[in-house]
Amino acid sequence: MKPLIQRYSDSDRINHWIVAIAFVLAGLSGLAMFHPAFFSLTGLFGGGAWTRTLHPYIGIVMFTAFVSMAKRFWKHNVMVPVDYEWLKLLPDVLTNREDRLPKIGKYNAGQKLLFWMLVVALPTLFVTGLIFWRAWFAEYFPIPVIRLAALLHAVAAATLITGILVHIYAAIWIKWTVGAMIRGSVTHKWAKAHHPLWYREVTGQPATPPGQE
Amino acid sequence: MSSLQSLDIKRRSATTLPSTQARETLEVAKLIDVSKCIGCKACQVACSEWNDIRGDIGTNVGVYDNPADLGPKTWTVMRYSEVEEKKGEEMAFEWLIRKDGCMHCAEPGCLKACPSPGAILQYSNGIVDFIEENCIGCGYCVAGCPFNVPRISKQDSKAYKCTLCSDRVAVGLEPACVKTCPTGAITFGSKEDMIDHAAERVVDLKERGYANAGLYNPAGVGGTHVMYVLKHADKPEIYHGLPKDPQISATVGLWKGVMKPLAMLAMGLTALTGFFHYVKVGPNDAEAHPDEPEDGNGPHVIRSSGPGQMEGKGNVNPGEQA
Ligand code: HEM
Ligand code: SF4
Ligand code: SF4
């Protein structure tokens, strides 16, 4: 059997999926209150009052788990010059012409930008969410601040959800990526094709992306 | 509260299609003539009696306002302001007393903000009513209201405010406060009649030296169904902070206005774009690449029982086709 390359440790994966599950629940419960078209989602949480009650706690779980995940992944997501070149070749990225792209490390520029979007969005959601949380803290803030918090919370949530939709799609589109986050490992081919510099780093072997031989 | 039937509902919170429009009832209004009010609080008591609610006993904060604020069990509060204002040529001390409570706006900010369908209704007679059984307790109405009126109960997390006695009005009675007021400072009737009545009062007050007397029926919220006759209509703020030009705040307008459809569009288009990208371009599958020699030094990279086994061979990378 071909040896696999470890990409995520057990705790990395558990951490990621806590964030992901909390995101789905926070997103669905938040959307229920976001627009009447989604109000029926309150049924998933036991009705409107339950949705309103649970949502902030789920959000706090997501935020806390994200802080831990961000610490793990931070250094791998720092933008480097090659990332900007990669971004310029986005049309090739989108048409699966990976052979034309510069060699990149553990994450590509798209993944990194998503990471930094999360780094901005989650603290925003956390702080604004606390401010307009009627059950606990809203009474301590003047009404204009509450209004602003509600607006920013909704904008941050919409940005986050849109970004995560791209993230989820990318994981489906780039085959075997979901497996990497579920079982933690990837094949040599996968690593060489999508993250050649990272491949070289972890295996010590040169990686010429397939198609360039 | 609700005692009016669905045919009388003009607007409903978190509802995107129009409510019943066939029947148009008479638009009503309550007119509070501040110049006739003696601050006896009979209306506060009547409200408490009729609605059978008693605000919790608070502490004396050094003013006559009692309780000190509106609350889930206090839907109207008399506000006392001590001011010195010009009367004719001289300055005169005045005790301004205003009955505070929901204004029953024609364009209610509370209703605009509320995310729960049917938790806030506006009847065709103009009354804005909270339907507590549909309320989820989020407090958005507090953010939406330009008059700082709704209060969320700590006991049950429901929003409460003056109903304008919608239950009494539905059966042809005037609100309890109106019935009780011993000086006739509060009157109730069709909005048109109340505006006419106010005009007479304003003429009277002007004759008595209050050159700036006027009706408070702010256009910024489309007019209100609780209106005041003020001696100093040019400065409503001196009546315990009655806003001069109340409007649904621009922040709430953004939050509940353009932002929502834009966000829905962004999320919807993103999901659709992903789907059609897959339909057009297909997956990017590293395992589907034909095995290539590994630059001479990839001995353990052998095609085998990895996930690639399940792979259909039909996936040709467009990069390779080119
Ligand atoms: C970080 C901690 C979070 C806190 C403390 C929080 C708190 C809140 C609160 C208090 C509300 C008002 C309704 C209620 O009382 O339940 C709310 C609404 C909402 N939240 Fe959160 N939330 C958090 C995270 C999130 C996350 C991660 C998302 C998105 C995935 C999200 C999306 C939303 C949305 C869409 C709304 C409705 C906004 C609107 O009505 O315009 N929230 N949140
Ligand atoms: S005064 Fe406030 S609570 Fe009353 S109808 Fe207007 S917006 Fe709603
Ligand atoms: S607290 Fe109740 S009435 Fe107020 S906005 Fe929320 S659901 Fe609507």
Contact B319 A53 (CB under 8 A): no
Cβ neighbours of A150 in B, within 8 Å? 140, 143, 251-252, 255
CA distances, B247 to each of A118, A152, B106, B138 (Å): 35, 20, 11, 21
Task: Report the C-alpha gap between B165 and B178 in whole angstroms.
Answer: 10
In a domain, B299, yes or no: yes
pLDDT in tens, B263-304: 999 999 999 999 999 999 999 999 887 655 444 343 333 333
Q: Tell me which residue in A52, A99, A188 faces B301 most closely, judged by beta carbons.
A: A188
| Residue boundaries of the structural domains of chain A | 5-203
Count of structural domains within chain B: 1
B72 pLDDT above the threshold of 60: yes
Answer whether residue B210 is part of any domain. Answer: yes
Question: Could you tell me which residue, B312 or B279, shows the higher pLDDT?
Answer: B279
Chain A's closest residue to B280, CA to CA, is A95
Active site residues of A: 167
Q: What's the pLDDT band for B78 if we cut at 50, 70, 90? A: very high
A92 neighbourhood in chain B, CB within 8 Å: 319
Residue of B nearest to A4 (CA): B306
Note whether A190 contacts B286, CB cutoff 8 Å. yes
User: CB of A189 within 8 Å of any CB in chain B?
Assistant: yes
Domain that holds residue B74: 6-234+286-306
**Which residues have CB under 8 Å from B64's CB, separation 6+?**
B39, B78, B80
Q: Which pLDDT belongs to residue B299?
A: 37
What pLDDT is stored for residue B76 in this prediction?
A: 98
| Cβ contacts of A110 within 8 Å, gap of 6 or more | A87, A93, A166, A170
- Return the closest-CA partner of residue A194 out of A121, A68, A63, A106: A106
Q: How many CB pairs under 8 A join A and B?
A: 188
Does residue B318 sit within a domain? no
- Report the mean per-residue pLDDT for chain A: 95
Whether residue B241 has pLDDT greater than 60: yes
Second CATH level (architecture) for the domain A5-203: Up-down Bundle (1.20)
CB-based contact, B267 to chain A, within 8 Å: yes
CATH number of the CATH domain containing B202: 3.30.70.20
ipTM score for this prediction: 0.93
In degrees and rounded to multiples of 5, residue B284 shows phi and psi of -105, 105
pLDDT for the residue numbered B4 = 66
**Whole-number Å distance between alpha carbons of B273 and B270:** 5
Give the rounded percent of residues in chain B with a pLDDT score beyond 70.
Answer: 89
Residue B290, pLDDT score: 65
Higher pLDDT, A96 or B308: A96
pLDDT for the residue B1 = 53
Query: What confidence score (pLDDT) does residue A207 get?
Result: 66
| Averaged pLDDT for residues B241-250 | 98
Confirm whether B82 is domain-assigned.
Answer: yes
Q: Which residues lie closer than 8 Å to A210 by C-beta, 6 or more apart?
A: A99, A189, A192, A193, B286, B289, B292
Give the minimum alpha-carbon distance from B157 to chain A in angstroms, rounded to a whole number. Answer: 8
Bridge-based pairing state of the strands B28-33 and B77-87: unpaired
Output the pLDDT for position B294.
46
Q: What are phi and psi of B237, to 5 degrees?
A: -60, -30
Q: Is residue B293 part of a domain?
A: yes
pLDDT level of residue A1 (50, 70, 90 thresholds): very low
User: For residue B264, is it within any domain?
Assistant: no
Angstrom distance (rounded) from CA B105 to CA A174: 54
- Is B309 a residue whose pLDDT tops 90? no
